[in-house]
Amino acid sequence: MLLDAERRGEVRQVLSALGPRQRQVLALLYFDRLTGREVADAMGVTESRVSQLRRQALEEMRVRLLDPGDRRTA
């Protein structure tokens, strides 16, 4: 799915608002395409922590990117 320029800007803004470790996890998993184990090794944390950081980051992004009218279901 391609995003229009406005939506891409929103995604960039939301990504920049994440904590540095959350951003790092997303970058390693989705841009560098590392496995959870590889990310854990690179960051010096457990796979469980990688999963936790990923889940927190994606949830924060989901809430921030919802249209204001949709936030009641978040």
pLDDT tens-place string over residues 10-57: 999 999 999 999 999 999 999 999 999 999 999 999 999 999 999 999
Q: Which position has the higher pLDDT, 34 or 1?
A: 34
pLDDT value, residue 37: 99
Checking if the pLDDT of 71 tops 70, the result is no
13 vs 47: CA distance, rounded Å: 27
Residues 57-65, mean pLDDT to the nearest whole number: 95
- Give the tokens for residue 17: 């608002």
Confidence of residue 3 (pLDDT cuts 50, 70, 90): confident
Overall fold of domain 9-73: Arc Repressor Mutant, subunit A (1.10.10)
Whose structure tokens read 């470790």? 21
Give the side-chain half-sphere CA count within 13 A for 28. 21
